[in-house]
Structure formats: C-alpha cells, structure tokens
Amino acid sequence: MDTTGNQANQKLPLQGAGGLSAILSNVKGDRWIWLIVLMLSTISMLAVYSSIGTLAYTRGVGVESILMKHMFMIIAGIILMYVSHRLDYRYYAGISKILMIVTIPLLLFTLFFGSHINHASRWLAIPGTGLSFQTSDLAKLALITYLARILSRKQENIKDVKNSFIPIMGSVCVIFALIGPANLSTGLMLFGVSILLLIMGRISIKQIAVVCVAGMFLLTAMLFLGSRRATHISRVKAFFHPELADKDKLFQGNHAKIAIATGGFFGKGPGRSTERNYLPEAFSDEIFAIIVEEYGLFGGIVVISIYLFLLYRCIKIVTKAPKAFGALLAAGLSFSLTIQAFANMAVAVGLGPVTGVSLPLVSMGGTSILFTSIAFGIILSVSRDIDEPKKVVVGEIREA
C-alpha cells in the first residue's frame, strides 16, 4: 500500500506548527508587555464595536465596515511593533535626528495648512490613501528619542549651557510651541514628559526652572493670543465653574458621568450602552466611559490595572537597562503612554476639563494606533537588549 500521501498529510500540521513556533521564537522582549498589548487590543475591539453605531449611521455605512478598518489598524500596528522591536534600540539615536528634521516642518505645515476638524488644525492628509494623521503623534516619538539621545551623550558636560542646555531647551520649547496652539492638551503632556526626562538626565534644578518658565510663557501666549484661546478658556471655566457655563459646554462631560454612574459594579453588559447615542466622541475621547457603563466598576478597574502594570513593567526595564540612552528612551515613551491614558480616564470621570486625548491602543484612532504601536516596539527593543545574552565579538562585548 502506498502511504506516501498519508505521510505527507501527517507532516503538514507539524510544518504549520513549526512555522508558528519560528515566528514566536522571533518575538523577543518583555512577554508581559506583549500580553498587555493583546489585552488592550481585545478591549478596544469590544468597546469600539459597541460605540460606533451613531458614527456608522451618520456616515451611511455599516458598523462592520468601520470595525474592519479598526481591526486592520490594530493588525498593522502589531506588525509595526514587531518590526520596530526587532531593530536594535541604539539605531533610534540616529533616527531621532532625522525625525526632528522632518517633524518641525510638518508641524509648521499642519499649523497653517492642515485639515481643520473640530476647529483645530491637527491633521495632515496622506495622499492617495484617504487617511490622515496627527503630526503631534510623530512629534512625541521624535522629541522623546531626541531628548534621550542628547541627554545620554552629554552626561559628561551636561551643565554646559551652550552645547547641552540650549539644544535641549530649544527642542522642548519649539515642539511645545508648534503643538500647543492646535492641541494644547497633548503639548502640555509632552512638555511634562520632557521635564521628567530632564530630571532623570541630571539637568540642574536651576536649568529645569528656566525651561518651566519658558513653558509657562508659551502657555500664557497660547491661552490669550492663540486662535483657540476661546475654546481653551471656556473649557477651563466650565470645569471650575460649571454653574456658570453654557449647557453645551457641559454636554460631553455630563453624559460621560451618566454613563459611569449607571454602570454599577458589573455594568449593563456588552453592547448595551445607552450613552453611546449621546456622547459625541464615544469611540475615541470618551471610550472609557462606555467601558465602565457596559462592564461596570470592575471593567474600569481592570483597564486601570492594565496601564498601571504596564508602567510597572516599563520601570523594571528602565532600572535594568545597561545604557543611559535605553533607560531614558524606555522611560520617556512609557511615561508618555501612561500619562496619556490616565489623562483620558481622568477627563471621563470628571477630574479634568474636556480634552481631545485618546486612550492608547483602546480608542479608535486610525494612524495614532500605528504610532503608539511603534512606541511599544521601541520599549520592547530596549527590553530585548536586557534579556538577550552577551556575546564577545573581536575582543569587545556586544549585546546579541
């Protein structure tokens, strides 16, 4: 009897398993962070599917088509995360210079000629794709990687005003000045992350105070002279004095609070949110409110715990990183992600004025998911360098 065909059929599953194991063997870095990404992606799919009904109706398309686009962005983000984590993190030092050279002209162009959505010029259209992206997402990667590079390389003469401090202060203030007019909340968070990096980089308190004073001056100019000054001032007034604010200024915040208050401990159940029909940005800025409404306080605590655990794992990476550049890079990116996450959740529960900040890897954000995934990939690249054994090559020790 000819058993060749049966033998071939028996080998196919093994070959498939071997291919999968080969892919998994190339997945390096902190496995807990990979698990966190998968958990946040799953939560995102569930929450976005529940909250895009009104958006689909206004666009005249099916809910499934929007969900499939979101799923494609998540898959593309995981691919980018895999690619960026395979690249040795030390290459990002050189890439940071290119990113800064590209980012500043893009921010200028966006500020004057970008697409206006919700009275803010934050987006640039990508020709031929039908997609647009916020240049501030690129600016976050550029500034954090650049600061990590310059702080790590200038440690020996970190107090040198001309060669060290002025380039550092200039980069922070220029990026803040270009992001702030259209996206003040993102600019403030990035400025705060930059100050944390300066502290970690052993910049003197006096020099940090100078940067803060310059930041306050720029913030004051944006609040009183910027094109969106009325929006910024009205949101702050509505937060501190809701009894004096117009009802339309309180609409989003009030319905977010209703969603959270009616969720109870275990929530109304998946897909049973009612406030998704009222919240204007239920799938993006206010997605945490929808999660709490449908999955209750328990679901909200789970999401908060995931981001806290992410911060914990990143801090472990920072403390174990053998090089200053890797430590500063992982610290800056992890602070940026977690501060953004908690800022979004704070707004949803009424602890801050309304902003346009999304929940990383959970909100439906298109290309913002891609930039967030790259940030995760860079953090994983630093952790990969920690985990892999050392090899001696031509008399010097190099990380494998």
- DSSP letter for each residue of 328-387: HHHHHHHHHHHHHHHHHHHHHTTSS-------TTTS--THHHHHHHHHHHHHHHHHHHHH
Asked if residue 326 has pLDDT above 90, the reply is yes
- Average pLDDT over the chain, rounded to whole? 84
pLDDT band at 227, cuts 50/70/90? low
Instruction: State the average pLDDT over residues 372-398.
Output: 71
Asked if residue 135 has pLDDT above 60, the reply is yes
Instruction: State the average pLDDT over residues 285-313.
Output: 95
pLDDT band at 336, cuts 50/70/90? very high
For 288, residues 6+ apart whose C-beta sits below 8 A from its C-beta are: 300, 303, 344, 345, 348, 349, 359, 362
**CA-based R_g, the chain, Å:** 23
Asked if residue 392 has pLDDT above 50, the reply is no
What pLDDT, on a 0 to 100 scale, did the predictor assign at position 144?
A: 95
- Tell me the HSE value of 19 on the side-chain side, using a 13 A CA sphere: 5
How many CB atoms are located within 10 Å of the residue 361 CB? 27
What pLDDT, on a 0 to 100 scale, did the predictor assign at position 226?
A: 66
Select the more confidently predicted residue: 54 or 372: 372
Asked if 43 and 364 touch (Cβ cutoff 8 Å), the reply is no
Task: Report helix, strand or coil for 253.
Answer: helix
pLDDT band at 388, cuts 50/70/90? low
Least confident of 179-188, 281-290, 381-390: 381-390
Q: What percent of the chain has pLDDT over 70?
A: 86
Cα–Cα nearest to 257, from 279, 242, 281: 279
Select the more confidently predicted residue: 391 or 135: 135
Instruction: State the average pLDDT over residues 299-307.
Output: 96
Q: Return d(Cα 375, Cα 382) in angstroms, integer.
A: 11
Asked if residue 214 has pLDDT above 70, the reply is yes
Select the more confidently predicted residue: 265 or 160: 265
Q: Return d(Cα 144, Cα 71) in angstroms, integer.
A: 28
Least confident of 260-269, 274-283, 384-393: 384-393
Asked if 178 and 186 touch (Cβ cutoff 8 Å), the reply is no
Asked if residue 289 has pLDDT above 80, the reply is yes
pLDDT band at 10, cuts 50/70/90? very low
Instruction: Note the pTM of the prediction, 2 decimals.
Output: 0.87
What pLDDT, on a 0 to 100 scale, did the predictor assign at position 121?
A: 64
165: DSSP letter: I
Q: Strand 131-134 and strand 120-126: pairing?
A: antiparallel
Domain-wise residue ranges, the chain? 36-386
pLDDT band at 16, cuts 50/70/90? very low
201: DSSP letter: T
Instruction: State the average pLDDT over residues 287-307.
Output: 95
Residue with token string 């990002």: 92
Asked if residue 120 has pLDDT above 80, the reply is no
Q: Per DSSP, what are the bridge partners of residue 393?
A: 396
The tens digit of pLDDT for each residue in 146-180 reads 999 999 887 777 777 777 788 888 899 999 999 98
Asked if 343 and 189 touch (Cβ cutoff 8 Å), the reply is yes
What pLDDT, on a 0 to 100 scale, did the predictor assign at position 159?
A: 72
Instruction: State which amino acid sits at residue 208.
Output: I
Asked if 41 and 74 touch (Cβ cutoff 8 Å), the reply is yes
Q: Return d(Cα 210, Cα 227) in angstroms, integer.
A: 26
Q: What is the DSSP string of 117-162?
A: ETTEEEEEEETTTTEEEEHHHHHHHHHHHHHHHHHHHTGGGTT-II
Asked if residue 279 has pLDDT above 90, the reply is no
Select the more confidently predicted residue: 113 or 5: 113
Q: What percent of the chain has pLDDT over 90?
A: 48
Asked if residue 242 has pLDDT above 60, the reply is yes
